[in-house]
Amino acid sequence: MAAKTIFQRIVDREIPATIEHEDDLCIVFRDIEPQAPVHLLLVPKQPIPRVAAATAKETQVLGHLLVVAGEVAAKLGLGQGFRLVINNGPHACESVPHLHVHLLAGRQMTWPPG
């Protein structure tokens, strides 16, 4: 059995986190190394290694993450805008092999990213 990722350990409450939202499908918490004034991670409770490994059976949870992102952004008053980022693989700087969505806000974003 593979070792738990840091995100699974947060889901399992083995590591503390500042949780902004939790439901049956996902957990949303503050990033410990924020890249913007608001930097949240939306993590499915079901471990999916990365977007490229997702299958049709994960459609509900993937859509749910996007809906929750909008709800959490509204709750936090991020009406000026926010950015969602999903890294997939080493060239995208994926650092944890557990799918997660970054929600970044609280400053003007630039384009193109990266």
Do the beta carbons of residue 19 and residue 29 sit within 8 Å? yes
- pLDDT band at 52; cut points 50, 70, 90: very high
| Percent of the chain residues topping a pLDDT of 90 | 93
Do the beta carbons of residue 97 and residue 36 sit within 8 Å? no
- pLDDT band at 3; cut points 50, 70, 90: confident
**What does pTM read for this prediction?**
0.94
Q: Is the per-residue pLDDT at 1 higher than 60?
A: no
Residues belonging to the active site? 100
Give the start-to-end residue ranges of the domains of the chain. Answer: 6-105
CATH superfamily, region 6-105 = HIT-like (3.30.428.10)
Average pLDDT over residues 53-82: 97
3-state secondary structure of 90: helix
- Residue 37 token pair: 């004034």
